[in-house]
């Protein structure tokens, strides 16, 4: 009998193809098509060699992309013919490392339905086991130490698998085949409940249930605060329906008003208290499991009953909700008649410091905050906070890109040399780039203390090693006093300075893969960023792209009396705006009354003589001023609090709008000026006429949206540019999104908004990287 003609090929696959069940998928595919050969992980991706009939090879290669595992993301498949290798079966070979090679890493993934079924089945050996996972879910980024992604290079290395787990791990047809964190109660990580070293043991401690999870549930029901070690760090947890427990947490953490995130057991529970759009529902239940900001239903935030206490998100009309994303969370949140419908789950840290990851560090530093600690003995190699998104009409807007998303790569529309972009001072993330990949870090936070800087430097070293990036260029903000800038300038590599608002604009372009040769109109509204003229920019209309920008228009400058002090006292900014507009300080205004006579005299002198009063064009500061003038809030304890509270009271049915003036430039090279004086006049008229806060807030937001449309129309008339990019922290405002985008689209504009990185400073590292790459490698 004539033997069938055999063909052979070698296949190299790049993308997120490790830690996602890709090799067992290839194994099953090869078996299905009666192919022999092998598959293996390398530090450059996945390599395959297969032998069989040509028809089988064709079907096999097509199925690789058509049927790829849901957690994978294939970027490129390279196929080359080769000589049949003589294999008589298909096998999975050991991983190999290749010098200088790299590949994307999977983020941590929420628990899958199959693993949930395991922990809920009394007959299963993983019944109620808090570290259950498989190739479709579980920790990835937070435990990996190096690539290729294999158990010895993760924090699971100390845990030797028992025979049952080893059998699963070695079985190519098992869903736990080569699941690197695979474990069970016999051989895996374990939980331990310990009392706080700084507080007396809660009464009845010795009679708590033996099961640590049941014991924690009892403590939470009794109103205690428990520090819980999770996937990327510690959470501080308490009963979100218990006003007193929440208040105790706030007092201990020194967080008087900033909203706290809550975890609820399921979608239906969240829907009792919040309005959930289809986009929000997808985000809540997605494998990333971010905190989703959801509108509260009227009357949902009350002090009594089983609803979320009103001091969880005081003064706000929305609630940050996440669903369980680890087996531990699912077990903690199991519904029961005597258990809360929601738990506060806020980052386990001292305010403004990095989230804590180590047991000993947690006991020492969180001891004053928590009554008890639920620890485990699986190390967290890289800290990673919960991500935060806001659901818009049909999509989600990232506000903090971290767990579940980082370090998933964002492609550039052009090549990049190996480089590091160091990001901003607040909401810091950094970005590594090489070839056409950018790797945005997890959320680092505010680089204002030593621990944050240590975390920042450790994360840069770790991700540089993972992705084999040895930077030739360090891109940084132009502000010389930013800690991220100082870090960049200390490094020996070449430096490339990027203006803050240019980086905001280009971060939006890069995530949309906007063509490099096409300029856009960038509407960049935020709180602060150093301009080339030495002023504090923040109300900017830019025209340009990757290669550079021109300032087409900006909000009229005002002096900022007291500098940074004014950002915590919005009434100062209100007084400065009135002074700049030539409007008298009416003593009946709440914003005027917020300052005593002596302080008003000092502020007036600062404004007149420009003493410690830097100029700013910040739109974020105008929101603060309007909120104070409307009587919403005069002092703040967290960033953008006044603007957030202002948005929270908007009447969605109000169509009135406050006007802005747009002034022609004094010379051909000067930008247009956007003057808010008419807005202030109209707002004060409403205050004197005793208009409601909801009406004033709506008219202000409507006016800003109308102004954006008008200035973009003017820019289009002069430049013929029809694409608008919206970026900067002000565009975290959902109301402004809802008002602005339809106005622009109805005016014929193509509108870019953020979908992959935040519009706030957590996204500008991407813009820094793209600008530097284009300037140095593609111009």
The residues pairing with 536 across neighbouring beta strands, listed in sequence order, are 530, 616
Please state the φ and ψ torsions of residue 461, each to the nearest 5 degrees: -60, -45
Identify whether the C-beta of residue 153 lies closer than 8 Å to the C-beta of residue 145. yes
Question: In the numeric block, which tokens belong to residue 705?
Answer: 């949206």
- Chain centroid to Cα 373, Å, comes to 27
Find residue 674's DSSP bridge partners. Answer: 555, 662
φ/ψ bin of 560: left (φ > 0), alpha (ψ from -120 to 50), beta (otherwise): beta
Q: Are residues 139 and 181 in contact, defined by beta-carbon separation less than 8 angstroms? A: yes
What is the phi/psi pair of residue 568, to 5°?
A: -95, -5
10-49: pLDDT as tens digits: 999 998 888 788 988 999 999 999 999 999 988 888 999 9
The tokens for 482 are 């930013």
Inter-CA distances, 257 with 79, 222, 315, 636, 639, Å:
57, 23, 9, 9, 11
Tokens of 207: 């009679």
Confirm if 520 and 544 have CB atoms less than 8 A apart: yes
**CA-to-CA distance for 717 and 41, rounded, in angstroms?**
55
Burial (CB count within 10 angstroms: exposed 0-12, middle 13-18, buried 19+), residue 113: exposed
pLDDT of residue 104: 82
Which residues are paired to 439 by β-bridges? Answer: 432
Other beta carbons within 10 angstroms of residue 206's beta carbon come to: 6
- How far is residue 303's CA from residue 746's CA, in Å, rounded to a whole number? 44
CB neighbours of residue 289 within 10 Å: 25
E runs forming strands in 660-722 = 661-663, 672-675
Q: Is the distance from CB of 376 to CB of 190 less than 8 angstroms?
A: yes
If one counts every other C-beta atom within 10 angstroms of the C-beta of residue 517, the result is 8
Closest CA to 619 of 502, 517, 701: 701
- Assess contact for 56 and 37: CB atoms under 8 A: no
DSSP code per residue over 312-369? SSTT-SEEEEE---SHHHHHHT---TTS-S-EEEEESSSTTSPPP--HHHHHHHSTTT
Q: Tell me the per-residue pLDDT of 107-139, one tens digit each, with 9 for 90 and over.
A: 999 999 999 999 999 999 999 999 999 999 999
Instruction: Give pLDDT, residue 302.
Output: 46
**What pLDDT is stored for residue 298 in this prediction?**
81
d(CA 191, CA 181): 16
558 close to 580: Cβ distance less than 8 angstroms: yes
Using a cut of 0.85, tell me whether the model's pTM lies above it: yes
- In 163-297 the beta strands, taken as DSSP E runs, fall at 191-195, 226-229, 234-239, 262-263, 291-295
* Series of mean pLDDT values for 10-residue runs along the chain (779 residues): 78 89 91 94 91 94 93 91 89 82 86 98 98 95 90 96 96 89 98 96 95 98 98 98 97 95 97 94 96 88 68 95 98 95 95 91 97 98 97 89 95 95 96 95 92 94 95 97 96 97 98 95 97 97 97 98 95 98 96 96 95 97 98 96 97 97 87 98 98 98 98 97 98 97 98 97 98 87
- Taking each helix axis from N to C terminus, what angle separates 450-466 and 483-490, rounded to the nearest 10 degrees? 50
DSSP state of 146: S
Positive or negative: CA dihedral 375, 381, 383, 384 = negative
d(CA 321, CA 605) in angstroms, rounded, equals 46
């Amino acid at each position: 009998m004539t033997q069938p003609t055999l063909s052979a090929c070698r296949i190299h696959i790049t993308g997120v193809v490790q830690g996602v069940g890709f090799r067992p998928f290839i194994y099953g595919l090869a078996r299905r098509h009666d192919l022999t050969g092998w598959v293996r992980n390398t530090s450059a991706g996945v390599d395959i060699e297969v032998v069989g009939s040509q028809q089988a090879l064709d079907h096999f290669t097509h199925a690789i992309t058509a049927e790829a595992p849901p957690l994978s993301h294939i970027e490129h498949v390279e196929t080359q013919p080769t000589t049949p290798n003589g294999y008589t079966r298909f096998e999975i070979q050991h991983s190999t490392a290749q010098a200088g090679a790299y590949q994307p890493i999977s983020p941590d993934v929420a628990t899958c339905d199959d693993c949930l079924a395991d922990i809920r089945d009394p007959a299963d050996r993983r019944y109620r086991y808090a570290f259950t996972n498989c190739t479709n879910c579980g920790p990835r980024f937070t435990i990996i130490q190096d690539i290729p992604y294999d158990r010895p290079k993760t924090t699971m290395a100390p845990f030797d698998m028992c025979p049952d787990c080893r059998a699963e791990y070695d079985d190519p047809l098992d869903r736990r085949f080569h699941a690197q964190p695979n474990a069970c109660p016999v051989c895996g990580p374990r939980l331990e409940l310990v009392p706080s070293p700084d507080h007396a043991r809660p009464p009845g401690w010795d009679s708590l249930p033996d099961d640590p999870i049941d014991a924690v549930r009892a403590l939470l029901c009794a109103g205690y605060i428990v520090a819980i070690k999770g996937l990327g760090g510690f959470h501080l947890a308490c009963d979100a329906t218990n006003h007193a427990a929440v208040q105790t947490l706030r007092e201990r953490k020194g967080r008087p008003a900033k909203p706290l995130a809550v975890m609820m057991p399921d979608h239906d529970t969240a829907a009792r208290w919040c309005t959930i759009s289809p986009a929000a529902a997808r985000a809540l239940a997605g494998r990333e499991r971010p905190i989703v900001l959801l509108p509260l239903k009227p009357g949902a935030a009350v002090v009594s009953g089983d609803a979320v206490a009103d001091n969880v998100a005081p003064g706000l009309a929305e609630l940050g909700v996440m669903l369980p994303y680890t087996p531990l969370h699912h077990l903690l949140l199991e519904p029961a008649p005597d258990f809360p419908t929601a738990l506060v789950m806020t980052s386990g840290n001292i305010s403004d410091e990095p989230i804590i990851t180590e047991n000993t560090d947690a006991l020492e530093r969180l001891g004053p905050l928590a009554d008890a600690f639920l620890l485990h003995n699986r190390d967290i190699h890289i800290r990673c906070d919960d991500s935060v998104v806001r659901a818009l009409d049909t999509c989600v807007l990232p506000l903090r890109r971290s767990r579940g998303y980082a370090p998933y790569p964002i492609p550039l529309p052009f090549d990049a040399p190996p480089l590091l972009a160091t990001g901003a001072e607040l909401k810091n993330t950094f970005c590594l780039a090489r070839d056409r990949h950018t790797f945005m870090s997890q959320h680092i936070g505010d680089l204002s203390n030593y621990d944050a800087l240590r975390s920042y430097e450790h994360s840069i070293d770790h991700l540089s090693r993972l992705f084999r990036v040895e930077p030739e260029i360090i891109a940084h903000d132009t502000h010389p006093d930013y800690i991220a800038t100082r870090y960049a300038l200390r490094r020996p590599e070449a430096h490339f300075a990027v203006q803050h608002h240019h980086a905001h604009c280009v971060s939006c372009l890069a995530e949309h893969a906007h063509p490099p040769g096409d300029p856009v109109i960038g509407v960049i509204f935020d709180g602060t960023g150093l301009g080339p003229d030495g002023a504090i920019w923040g109300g900017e209309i830019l025209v340009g792209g990757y290669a550079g920008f021109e300032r087409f228009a900006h909000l009229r400058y005002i002096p900022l009396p007291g500098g940074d002090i004014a950002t915590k006292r919005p009434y100062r900014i209100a007084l400065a705006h009135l002074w700049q507009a030539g409007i008298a300080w009416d003593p009946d205004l709440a914003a005027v009354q917020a300052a005593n006579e002596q302080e008003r005299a000092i502020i007036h002198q600062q404004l007149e003589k420009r003493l410690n009063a830097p100029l700013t064009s910040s739109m974020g500061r105008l929101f603060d001023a309007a909120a104070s003038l409307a009587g919403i809030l005069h002092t703040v304890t967290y960033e953008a609090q006044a603007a957030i509270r202002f948005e929270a009271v908007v009447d969605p049915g109000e169509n009135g709008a406050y006007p802005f003036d747009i002034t022609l430039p004094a010379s051909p090279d000067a930008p247009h000026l956007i003057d808010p004086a008419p807005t202030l006049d109209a707002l004060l008229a409403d205050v004197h006429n005793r208009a409601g806060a909801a009406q004033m807030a709506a008219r202000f937001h409507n006016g800003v949206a109308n102004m954006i449309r008008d200035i973009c129309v003017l820019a289009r008339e002069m430049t013929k540019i029809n694409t608008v990019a919206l970026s900067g922290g002000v565009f975290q405002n959902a109301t402004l999104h809802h008002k602005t985008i339809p106005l622009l689209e109805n005016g014929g504009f193509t509108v870019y908004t953020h979908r992959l990185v935040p519009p706030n400073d957590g996204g500008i590292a991407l813009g820094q990287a793209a600008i530097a790459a284009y300037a140095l490698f593609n111009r």
